[in-house]
Each structure stands twice: as structure tokens, then as C-alpha cells.
Amino acid sequence: MTKLKVLAATLVWAAPAMLGWGLADSAQTAAVEAPTGFTVTSNGFAEEFCANQEALANSPNSPRIPDDECDFDTAVEEFTGPEDTAAGLGPIFNGNGCGECHIANQILGATSQILERRAGFFNSANNTFTDHPGGSLIQDRAFDPNDQERVLPASTNTIALRSTISVLGDGFVEAVGNSTLQAIANAQPVAQRGQLINVPVLEMPGTTRVGRFGHKDQQASLVSFSADAYVNEMGITSPLQPNENTSNGRTVPEPPDAPPGVDDEGVDVELFALFMRSTLAPPTDPGILNSFDGQQGSALFNQIGCAVCHTRTITTSPPGTLINGGAARVSNALGDKIIHPFSDFLLHDVGTGDGIVQNGGITTRNKVRTAALWGLRARGRFMHDGLSFSFEDAIARHGGQAATARTNFNNLGATSRRRVLVFLSAL
Amino acid sequence: MRLRSIVVFLLALTVAGSALYVRWRRTARPPVSEPEGDVALPSPGASAPPSAPADTVPTRSDVQPTLDRLFEGALVVDAEVRPSFVTGDFTGDSATDLAVAARPLSEDVLPRLNAELPRWRLQDATAATDGARDVVPPIASGERLLAVVHGVAGLSWRAPADRPCYLVRNAVGSGMRAAPLSTVPPAVRMQLSRLHAGDVIAEERGLILWTGAAYVRAVTPVDPERPAR
């Protein structure tokens, strides 16, 4: 009887503690902050992926990376380039390696000042857009001068410049679920609501996913994005993009030493994706961010409405989640991670154009993806066209769905405006 | 008494068991094996581009208060330039914009015009578009400037809210008028990084174009038939 009382009393006291312990543990297994840094350091994905390729990738038409090539250093080297004609470079192209635009070995920002051009013709009478002959992307280099692609005035009433986007942290962005992006859009006021588009996942034919990469959200998976860039920026074909570019719509011969058939069997494409998935998220500058002005500016950033589209915080899907139409599974390194991209990765009309239609249909003609502000301080040119050279210049250009935020910024006193700029310089 | 103890014991056991269950469930979370699936998107209707709203011809009594409001009372319409102002869709967004030849009101307002963080952007139409324009000398007393007020979101420059504003150096000339971009020779249009619908500002010395980020003076082909001024 007494023993039973003692046991009951002990349990009465112990039970709440145990309940707290159980719940506390559940909190510990929830999402954690993603690793950050401007260094050429793996976030852990490469090591995890290379030890578990079969578990984390399942594509019917994109190859497995050979074991002796599957590591972070090889991925960095492959991403950095340069490529040559023997690897399939050309005949028309924009760069000779990913690293030419997305500076890789000196990774700061993993971006550059390099701009590209897109062109096409918008017919306002029937609301249709036609790509420039040879595709809207203009390849600015050619091995043979006679193959040089040019913008043809007769076929063009829209020309857009496109800045290079940083790839740092893109693995985390890829691991963000479709439903998460949908929820972000749903939470936005109607006037500022972003547009989602579903785009093809090349490595899992017949499937689509919510786009999140590129100025037009034209890609959803980093393997698809890599294959696209390999052929369109470097002229190197692969199983996912087997067709060579034309110059103004005219087929041009490859350099004599180009590989026969498809230039790359697909391993390079996988290595590019491996690099991007392994990058650290861009870090903030804690000294600036934690300063009084930085903290005040951070609060003002929210108050004036910037954060409606420049979303501060997103959590990636849990490890194990199938993404990219089933072609990939979210890894432990990328899953359940909290990132601060300052972007909703959705398309908005902020009054800057760019007038080009890609995967999203005619309604996206004047919409661009919300620029991710993480790593902002490592960039010197802003907006999708790189034509703004200061934060103030960039803010002043915000119109359309961002007009309210710009107005609110302009209505701040000079001290508050300066604090917002201080905050931006911490990102 | 014994019954009460047993009840308390069982209750405590239930709570402890629940805690253990919560912990086990979190720890042993099975991998999510279901594909995330597509998001069902609303079918976007084909939306025709908005047409520019009708806007009445402004008078100086419309324009000066606009300058006062947006440029903090620091500018005055430059009546020596004829016409002193012009409206058109300079940004190609179907909203009417205003361009005004203006000067600083006095030397006293120069600190205001040259403030560290003004509510307008100061640009030089003759500066290179690749970065040189982010270093612009301060505005001088009596300097002639083109003040441009953008309409946005279908609302013209007249709308009372804050408007994107620009002060452009080396952009004022007599005979200012809005000319449809479509009438500009392709050799000039192709200098732009972005072509768009709408207008350019034409004046006696040439064309002022909006690139999407800045006002620049177009390099126009020389007409050998036209006498030099």
C-alpha cells in the first residue's frame, strides 16, 4: 500500500517532467539554421550524396556520377571550368565555363557583372510573344565570325538585359517544397501576390515542378538548370539538352575537334548540380546587422512592406521528401533547414519588365522573380538587368506590385531611409 | 484510499506514456516517400496590356505644384525653355509621365537638392550607361535640369501619391515633345537595352530615351542635309 503510494507520487511528479522532455526533444528535431559562408566549403551535401547516390537520385535519363569523380572538389573544378572545343564548347556561346559568370573558385557572391541579352517580338494586337530567331537568348560569342549571332531589328521590339544570379545556397532553394512556395503566395496581399509557374523537370520526363531558378523562374531543378545553361551558355549538349543552338535560326557547324554526337554524357551536368547543391547559403554581416542602425533598418524593412516579397525566412522540406518529379530525394544536409533568402522566388510585376516570355506564358511577360537579397553586399549591380548601381537606384525603380513599398520608403525620414540601406548592406 | 492511489498511478502512467510516445514519434519519423506533387495553378487568363488612361494637357499651374510636392519646393519651372514641359509614356508602362525643364529655385535650396538621400535620382543623360552615372557631381546654382515624374500602375504623374522622380542633367532642349518610340529609327532604338512601347522625348538636339533604369541621350545619326546649329 505504502509502496504503491510512493510510486504514484513519484510518477505524479515525474510525468510532467517527462512530458516536457518529450516535447523538448520534438523541438530539437525541428528545422535548424542552414550553414552559411562565403567560402568554397561543402554544406555536407556532396559527401552525403556521393555515399548514397542511389538513395538520393533516381533519374531515368541522367547518369550516376562515377565514384571516382563524385566529390566536392571535383564538382568545384568542373563548375569553375574552363571548357574547350574538345569538350564541345560552341559553336556559339556566352561563356567558356560556369565559373566565368558564377565565379566559383573565388566564390564571393558566386556572381559577376556579366550581363546577357534576350530578345523577341511582342505583338500587342494579339498579345503574343515570339522568340528572336534562334531563341530569345542571344549568344554573344562564336568561333567563326560568320556564325556570330546578332539581334535582328526586323524581328525584335523587345530587348532585355539579364544579370548573373548567384548560385550560392541554391541547393536549399531546390529543397523548398512546392506547397511552401504556394503558402507564401497565399499569404501575400492580393495586390502583391506572386505568381507560381510549373515548369518541366527534364531529368524526370513528363513531370513538372514549381519554378524557382532563373529571372523568369524558368527552372525548378538544378540538374535541369545545369543542362539548360550548358547548352545555352556554353554550347555543350547533353542527354537532357541534345540539340545545339542555332545562330539567328541558322544551323552552324561545330568546331572540328568537337565530340561526335552529344558533347557530354551527362556527368558534367550532374557535377554542376552537385556543386550548387553543396554550396553554403550566403551569410549576413553580423557586425552591421547587429548594429543599432542595422536592427532599426531591419524592422523598417518589414514595416514598409519590402518583406512581403523579399521573404525573410523559408524552411526546406524534411529529409527524404521526393522532389523534382521523383528524380531526387531531399538529403539530410539540405532538409529541414531554415534559410533567409529574402525572396519568395515568385514572379512579380514591379514595373521593370523585362518583356520576355519563357516558361510561364504571356502573363509573365513583364514579371521577374523576386531578387534574392542574400549575399547582396557581394554585388555591385542590381535589378534583373544590372542597370542599377546603388541600393537607392534599385529601390527607386520599384513600381507595379512594389510601388507601395517604394512609396513607403520614400516617405520615411532621411535617417530611417539610411537605416534601411544600412540593413541592406548587411545582407 | 487504495482506489484513489490506483487512479492517480494510472493517470501518471498515461501522461508518462504519452511523453514517451511523442518522443518516439518524433525520433522515428519515417522518411517522406510521397512526391511533393505539383501545385495546382489558376489558369491565367490572357490579359491584354493596359491602355494608357486619357490625360488632359497640363498647364504650368498643374506642373509647378507637382514639382513643389515631389522635389520639396526646390525647383521652379524653367520658362525660358519652350515648351517647358511635356507628357508622354516615357517608360512604356501605359501610364503618363511628365518631363519638365526646371532650375533650382535659389542657392538656398541646393543643400536640399544635393542631400545624401533625396527622394529622386540624379542622373546625367550623357554619362555612360555602364556605371559612370553613379558618380554625378552635385547640382549647381541655376543649372538646367529635366525633372521627370513617372506615372505608375496605370496612374499618371498627377496621382497624389509618391511617384518615381528623376533629375536629369544634359537632357533639356527647346522644342520638347513626346514621340512614339515606333517612329524612332531602328539604329537608335537598338541602342537601348530594352525596347518598349510608349514614347521618347524629342528635342532639337536629339532624343532622350528611358533605358529601363536611366534617361540617356541617344546618339542619333547625323543628317548631312540638315544645317548645323
CA closest to A161 among chain B residues: B193
Looking from the CA of B38 toward its CB, the CA atoms found within 13 Å total 14
CA B189/CA B182 separation, integer angstroms? 9
Is the separation of the CB atoms in A282 and A35 below 8 Å? Answer: no
Structure confidence at residue A212 (pLDDT): 98
Q: Which residues of chain A carry a pLDDT beneath 50?
A: 1, 19-28
Beta strands B165-169 and B121-124, pairing class: parallel
> What string of DSSP letters covers B83-117?
S-EEEE-TTSSSS-EEEEEEEES-GGGHHHHT-SS
Q: Which of residues 11-50 of B touch A (CB under 8 A)?
A: 11-13, 15-16, 18-23, 26-27, 29-39, 41, 44-49
**Peptide bond between residue A91 and the one before it cis (omega within 30 degrees of 0):** yes
Q: Give the model's confidence band at B164: pLDDT under 50 very low, under 70 low, under 90 confident, else very high.
A: confident
Q: Give the model's confidence band at B193: pLDDT under 50 very low, under 70 low, under 90 confident, else very high.
A: low
Structure confidence at residue B161 (pLDDT): 77
Indicate the domain borders of chain B: 60-173
Structure confidence at residue B133 (pLDDT): 56
Report how far apart the first and last C-alpha atoms of chain A are (Å, whole number): 66
Structure confidence at residue B29 (pLDDT): 45
Q: Which of residues 131-190 of A touch B (CB under 8 A)?
A: 151, 153, 156-161, 177-179, 181-182
CB of B96 less than 8 A from some CB of A: no
Which of A10-19, A81-90, B10-19, B183-192 has the lowest average pLDDT? A10-19
Q: What is the mean pLDDT of residues B75-85?
A: 96
Element (H, E) at A277: helix A267-278
Tell me the one-letter amino acid at B94: S
C-alpha cell belonging to residue A390 = 546603388
Contact A397 B115 (CB under 8 A): no
SS3 A281: strand
Tell me the one-letter amino acid at A360: G
CB of B127 less than 8 A from some CB of A: no
Element (H, E) at A141: strand A141-142
A343: distance to nearest CA of chain B, Å? Answer: 19
Q: Give the model's confidence band at B178: pLDDT under 50 very low, under 70 low, under 90 confident, else very high.
A: very high
Residue B21 clears pLDDT 70, i.e. is over it: no
Is the separation of the CB atoms in A406 and A396 below 8 Å? Answer: yes
Residue B38 clears pLDDT 70, i.e. is over it: no
A320: distance to nearest CA of chain B, Å? Answer: 5
Give the residue from A301, A284, A295, A285 showing the smallest Cα distance to A417.
A301
* Beta carbon pairs, A and B, within 8 Å: 199
CA closest to B45 among chain A residues: A363
Structure confidence at residue A9 (pLDDT): 58
- The 10 Å Cβ neighbour count of residue B224 is 6
Q: Give the model's confidence band at B224: pLDDT under 50 very low, under 70 low, under 90 confident, else very high.
A: very low
CA closest to A1 among chain B residues: B2
- Which residues is A329 bridged to in the sheet? A322
CA closest to B153 among chain A residues: A400
Q: What is the mean pLDDT of residues B7-18?
A: 67
Structure-model confidence comparison of residues B94 and A170, the more confident one: A170
Listed in order, strand segments (DSSP E) in B26-182 are 75-77, 85-88, 97-104, 121-124, 145-149, 165-169, 177-180
Contact B117 A407 (CB under 8 A): no
Structure confidence at residue B9 (pLDDT): 67
